[in-house]
A and B are shown apart, each in its own frame.
Chain A
Amino acid sequence: QKEVEQDPGPLSVPEGAIVSLNCTYSNSAFQYFMWYRQYSRKGPELLMYTYSSGNKEDGRFTAQVDKSSKYISLFIRDSQPSDSATYLCAMSDGGGSNYKLTFGKGTLLTVNP
């Protein structure tokens, strides 16, 4: 079983839709959870960062972490064509000096005008 599982999609939605992206994980030591957005032929860009369980909102983006279910989500409200990209979840246990991030394989999202 992979440490982090992410539905690769592709996911295609109309402009203005609410998008839900999800990851599950198996390592209960993970405490730090991130979502990155990666446009084609670019490096990943940090979107959201959360520690432990709970919700965090930033503009049209909401990140949710449910550690009891080992499940994290990213919601995008009022999706725009500019949101078309690959979305990667990432997590770490943050133990000591361990700065290794473990990534999901990414979900390819297309928002159609």
Chain B
Amino acid sequence: KAGVTQTPRYLIKTRGQQVTLSCSPISGHRSVSWYQQTPGQGLQFLFEYFSETQRNKGNFPGRFSGRQFSNSRSEMNVSTLELGDSALYLCASSIAGQETQYFGPGTRLLVL
């Protein structure tokens, strides 16, 4: 079974731009979560989607948003990029009703 895939793998943007990252979950997984990983803060929860609905949100500004499509694929968007948004953005999927989450390889975003 194919794992979680994320595109693109690497991205360079400049301050003020916006970016959209994509995640395809494991087949059959309906829950998709997004995390930001930085050396200083570690892995921090952004939000979780299930059946196209955001069920849980972390403590990030409104510039960070996401959505989920009917096929469970998810996108996250960051508007008005700041230097501090440089990070590894990880997507994880899980089967509804289970706690274990499986991560993709991440998208490494560099904001200049």
Instruction: Give the interface of A toward B (CB within 8 A).
Output: 32, 34, 36, 41-46, 49, 51, 88, 90, 92, 94, 97-106
Taking CB atoms, residues of chain A closer than 8 Å to B103 are: 36, 43-46
Closest to B48 in A: A99
4 interchain residue pairs of minimum CB distance: A105-B42, A43-B103, A103-B43, A32-B99
Interface residues on B, range: 20 to 34
Q: Knowing A43-B105, A49-B100 touch, does A97 contact B90 (C-beta < 8 A)? A: no
B43 and A97 contacting across the interface, CB-CB below 8 Å: no
CB closest residue in chain A, given B33 = A99
Which residues of chain B have C-beta atoms less than 8 A from A43's C-beta?
4, 90, 103-106
A34 x B42 contact (CB < 8 A): no
Contact A94 B99 (CB under 8 A): yes
B101: chain A residues at CB < 8 Å are: 46, 99, 101
Closest residue to A104 on the B side, CB-wise?
Answer: B42
Say whether B55 faces chain A, with CB atoms less than 8 Å apart. Answer: yes
Query: 15 other contacts beyond A88-B42, A99-B50, A103-B42, with CB at 8 A cut-off?
Result: A36-B103, A42-B105, A43-B90, A43-B104, A45-B103, A46-B100, A88-B43, A94-B99, A97-B50, A99-B101, A100-B45, A101-B101, A102-B45, A103-B35, A103-B44
The interface residues of chain B lying within 8 Å CB-to-CB of A92 are: 99
CB-CB under 8 A from B28, the residues of chain A are: none
For residue A92, give the distance in angstroms from its CB to the closest CB of chain B.
Answer: 6
